[in-house]
Structure 1
Amino acid sequence: MQRYYLSIDIGGTTLKSARIDHSGNITATDQLPTPRRVADFLAALAQLIHTSQGVHAICVSVPGIVNPRSGKVEFTGALGFMGEFNLAEYVRQLTGLPVYVGNDANCATLAEMWLGNLTTVDNGAVVTLGTSVGGGLMINGQLFAGPHFRAGEISAIVNNHDHLDPHEATVGASTSAVKMIAAVATACGLPDSRDGRRAFVEINRHNPAAWGIFTAFCRRVAVLLVNVQAVVDLERILIGGGISAQPVVVSEIRHQFKLLQESDRRLQDDIVMPDIQAAKFGNEANLLGALYGLLLQLEEK
């Protein structure tokens, strides 16, 4: 008999759910706006859960620091109002079903390990470009979370030692795809600073007002990848996030990586350029990865 699972992706603006079979086939989806108060958030989560009947277990992808063993989450970003909360225990008490909770970037990495573009390598990473920068690491064929469950928090890397504001000195602040899109929109006089599709029209036609902003952004991403390579020496790094659907993004990041190596003999001698590709999964990545995390957890038991 085919088993079905409920996978939930908790985002800053949307709560998404999907009914998925054991092979990763999505058979139904639902979504709700993400509330901004604890009681409303838990009520919306319960609503998504109760509308999906006949599932074997539940898995959740969430922004924050997650202990996957206990299911306790230290919520971050737009969901910081939730504080520290044992999400797995809450869902278990609500349903009586097995529950897995994982960090969103780690779930995206698990999806690529299971059915995506990390299936043929042993050491890789997913770097997601959005409002901030997310990351997940696969070492020796296993997701690497670290002893404090914070491995892959590459947005916290300091890349501007001289900046007076510690937050603005981090990768998360300086390498925001959302900020890049807004800067392109302003420079090109576009009406909507959040319209990434329109911004990429200008980028793809090499509009000088857009191209310089875009290439500077890709150089910052390439610097990040160089730094990651210097520490873990990966075979493949996947670029995720909405902008990764634009072929020019991965192409220009590769180009900027090569330029960095050409500029310094040490970067040529000490750093091997990884295979840089776009991640396979877009909006479904966290949903699929949460399920794979659940299946691995059930297998261990």
Structure 2
Amino acid sequence: MAKYVFGVDVGGTTVKMGLFTVEGELLDKWEIKTRTEDGGKNVLPDIADSIKEVIESKKLAKEDVEGVGIGVPGPVKEDGTVLKCVNLGWGILNVEDELEKLIGYPVKAGNDANVAALGEMWQGGGKGHSNLVMVTLGTGVGGGIILNGKMLFGVNGAGGEIGHICVDDSETETCGCGNKGCLEQYTSATGVVRLAGRAMAASDKKSTLRELEAVTAKDVFDAAKAGDELALEIVDTQARILGRALAQIACVVDPEIFVIGGGVSKAGSILTDSVKKYFEHYAFHACRQTKFALAQLGNDAGIYGSACSILGR
């Protein structure tokens, strides 16, 4: 008899959902709108209703569904308590208890970056490894840490918040978190744009980047691939900062593999090769052979990971 799990990835605009076999095959996926008004009180009931509809339409027996995993954009404690989800309007809320009451199946909750890391371990770039660090380079920098196949939550649900490691004491601009000099300010997509702005202001070097009205991170990596000297310097700066930070993380976590995801990871090997070079330079000798891989699941990593979390893998 086939067994099934549901994976849910809650974003500020949409909720992504997937139906999986317990072996990790994605059978169906869909989205619903995230109704964040009124303190986000409709988010969990909407999810429950949507899953119930799928169970009914596919005529799944109650005993065939193992449960529901859910990833949310905020710190989540190991008992399923969310401390605050600004994007959803939630304050302190035990997501597992609330959704279980609504749906009648076991629920496992996790931070969205942590469940994405679990997804990449299960069926993506980290498959075959049970100890990994996922680095998500998007608008910000997220992270997820998996040790012996389990998500690292931390006491306050902040395990894996690698984007807010301080990498530059001399920074004068403030990060979104309120501190200054965070990894996110240099290695995210917005961070690469900031580095580009600074590099262009500090140098007279010719560069195709100067011809653009608004420079994006993709522009910087594309120019670097084409041999643009200034763009290559910007990529090198980003790689040095990220490689050094990952070397420090390896001293604490010692993973088998770093999986790099998010929009910036689309740059491909120019990114991973540069980061790996600096990682090996800064790393403690025992960690120098740590592997690097690109994430493979894209926007589906969250639904894969949350589905995996309910299986206790």
TM-score (norm 1): 0.81
RMSD (Å) for aligned C-alpha atoms:
3.0
Q: Distance in 2 between matches of 1:142 and 1:40?
A: 30
Instruction: Establish whether residue 278 from structure 1 lines up as the match of residue 298 from structure 2.
Output: no
Displacement of 1:188 in angstroms is: 4.6
Q: Deviations over 1:197-246 (max 9, x none)?
A: 55543342233343332322222211211111222333321112233233
Q: Deviations over 1:169-216 (max 9, x none)?
A: 22233332233257659945546666x655543342233343332322
Aligned length: 288
Q: Distance in 1 between matches of 2:186 and 2:87?
A: 19
Displacement of 1:123 in angstroms is: 3.3
Is contact 2:96-2:108 (8 Å) kept?
yes
Is contact 2:126-2:293 (8 Å) kept?
no
Residue type of the partner of 1:174?
Answer: Y
User: Which residues of 2 match residues 19-98 of structure 1 at below 5 A?
Assistant: 19-37=19-37, 38-39=40-41, 41-42=43-44, 44-46=46-48, 48-54=50-56, 56=65, 57-69=67-79, 71-76=80-85, 78-79=87-88, 81-98=89-106
Q: Distance in 1 between matches of 2:250 and 2:32?
A: 38
- SS of corresponding position for 2:32: strand
From the superposition, tell whether residues 60 and 163 of structure 1 become closer, same or farther in structure 2 (CA, over 3 Å): same
Is contact 2:76-2:153 (8 Å) kept?
no
From the superposition, tell whether residues 13 and 126 of structure 1 become closer, same or farther in structure 2 (CA, over 3 Å): same
Residue type of the partner of 1:155?
Answer: G
Is contact 1:188-1:209 (8 Å) kept?
no
- SS of corresponding position for 1:254: helix
From the superposition, tell whether residues 25 and 39 of structure 1 become closer, same or farther in structure 2 (CA, over 3 Å): same
The residue aligned with 2:108 is: 100
Displacement of 1:45 in angstroms is: 3.5
Is contact 2:121-2:132 (8 Å) kept?
no
Query: Structure with the greater relative contact order (CA < 8 A, sep ≥ 6): 1 or 2?
Result: 2
With 33-42 and 280-289 compared, the bigger mean Cα shift is at: 33-42
TM-score (norm 2): 0.78
The counterpart of 2:307, out of the listed 253, 277, 291, is 291
Displacement of 1:295 in angstroms is: 0.8
Instruction: Establish whether residue 177 from structure 1 lines up as the match of residue 189 from structure 2.
Output: yes
- SS of corresponding position for 1:238: strand
Q: Distance in 2 between matches of 1:246 and 1:72?
A: 36
